[in-house]
Structure 1
């Protein structure tokens, strides 16, 4: 039945000028892709965006590389930029189709499994494996960072949340990690772009020296520690289940699970509300880095998206969340 609803929405959107109401409802249909075939499944709503930034990337449907020994998506980036060119990026990212994007303030659950291929980058560089953003209207000025991102630095896995800039509660000198009190969260302040980036979750290998970029504290973003750290990149397959509900007015909430363990809840000012931004949130995953040498490969499996947590979380984990 779900396949029929999805196909009907896509068909009417393409051929009927009066189908806007049905198209607007398309985001409510659960999506899933196990990457078992030779291309993206119709039920998954995913595609590889072919543009200049992605020319350093490659996509392969690996028939035996999956978490269950079946299909997986193998995504790689190779050196394509001058290593001194900070403005150049190398990507192999998979996007949600625009007509299926979820309204910005709507809570939605995403799930996917990821495995880091060897070698795992150990340099102090910008690496992302997944990111959630708000649409930017065509031609609008500004460069807005993802409101949620899963990142890698020096071989450590961590998560960040972005919000509009607020004056910090306290701030340490540049290069010194923040000293935050109860109810406060370490952030990297960027007033020149009206943004601040919060450090919200880390793996077990993360140390104080890894957080020196986050030298200020904010009380606009609250982290509820659920007693678990992110898995380390060398631990094999990691299955993420994440709920996103942006709220630049202070009503935001994010839930992060990994391997059925509840990692953190994030509440407060999440995301951006600047005038040129669009109506929807969107998700993309795959290796993304600033200019670097060598090849970097990730495997992905079991993508799912739903407004219903039970379609994404396992039954025991689903019972934990209100």
Structure 2
């Protein structure tokens, strides 16, 4: 019996995939069965390459190098370029359950400095074939003008929304980009130290439907070397959502309230994918990843800090 077959049998005997502890040191020569990861093949992913290399690493004998290059024709509106690593569908966690994720990332030079759509990791809800709408990740780690930031997305909630206030958001409210035309809104929940008000001009409104507890630590700068993230995700479009975001063992923010989407045509599971993703652009962009882990237990994922729940 192969390792993959044995792993599949073990998985099928569990109540659900949330009971699994997944780990992959990303040293190669391929993704491990115990990590449950794969490189998805489609047109946008053809912009990317993945390489298990041994020149740049955080731990062990190597790390995963992901690179994207331009492929989109100028006439193809909305085309994106990706080199994303996905969780295998049979291992995804139910949308209403909480789970911890961990991974380390290092930005290769040059780090993009333009005002463009760049993501390095995202958490989403499954979308059924034929579902209407384009649903953004309920949590995303993003880059803008060489600065790292995080956003949380949910359905548009009119109650507690203030469009373009004259003053900064009141206590208990967070900056948000209201998008009622797509039944979504995106909150700005964490930034690095270089972030300025001008960088956040898109988030010109406020909402009290999402609460952010700031723990006094900013996201690390992209040029600071390896960044080890530990993230707890439990979507709750009804207001019961909960996210914990740590970087390099330091608590960054706790997010509660309306998190994620509850539209018709969406699937039963959440899923995570990481790797460089951008709107069509020129040049190459490279990121390195190491030490992937996933568990229902904080202690298996969070390194360098106590698990408080």
Do the structures match in fold with TM over 0.5? yes
Query: Aligned pair 1:207/2:196, yes or no?
Result: yes
How much does 1:83 deviate?
A: 5.8
CA contact (8 A) 2:131 2:264 kept: no
Distance 1:133 1:89 in 2: 17
Aligned residue pairs, count? 307
Q: Which residue of 2 aligns with 1:244?
A: 233
Within a 5 Å distance, the mapping from 1:121-136 to structure 2 comes to 121-136=112-127
How much does 1:36 deviate?
A: 1.7
Distance 1:230 1:72 in 2: 22
Distance 1:135 1:77 in 2: 24
Within a 5 Å distance, the mapping from 1:115-264 to structure 2 comes to 115-167=106-158, 169-172=161-164, 179-264=168-253
Question: Relative to total residues, which structure has the larger helix share, 1 or 2?
Answer: 1
Distance 1:292 1:255 in 2: 32
How much does 1:221 deviate?
A: 0.1
Query: Aligned pair 1:10/2:2, yes or no?
Result: no
Query: Aligned pair 1:277/2:266, yes or no?
Result: yes
CA contact (8 A) 2:7 2:34 kept: no
Structure 1 unaligned blocks of 5 or more: 14-18
How much does 1:29 deviate?
A: 1.3
How much does 1:170 deviate?
A: 1.9
Instruction: State the Cα RMSD in Å.
Output: 1.9
Query: Aligned pair 1:71/2:59, yes or no?
Result: no
- Aligned residue among 299, 304, 317 for 2:305: 317
CA contact (8 A) 2:59 2:291 kept: no
Structure 2 unaligned blocks of 5 or more: none
3-state SS, counterpart of residue 190 of structure 2: strand
Q: TM-score, normalised by structure 1?
A: 0.91
Q: Which residue of 2 aligns with 1:303?
A: 292
CA contact (8 A) 1:37 1:63 kept: no
3-state SS, counterpart of residue 130 of structure 1: strand
Structure 1 runs, 4 residues or longer, greater than 3 Å off: 6-9, 82-86
Q: Which moved more, 1:222-231 or 1:63-72?
A: 63-72
Question: Which whole-Å deviations, capped at 9, do the CAs of 1:170-215 have from their partners, x for residues lacking one?
Answer: 2228xx9x72000001100111110000000000000000000001
Q: Which residue of 2 aligns with 1:16?
A: none
Question: Which whole-Å deviations, capped at 9, do the CAs of 1:284-322 have from their partners, x for residues lacking one?
Answer: 0000000110000000000000000000012x5133x22
Distance 1:183 1:201 in 2: 15
CA contact (8 A) 1:185 1:199 kept: yes
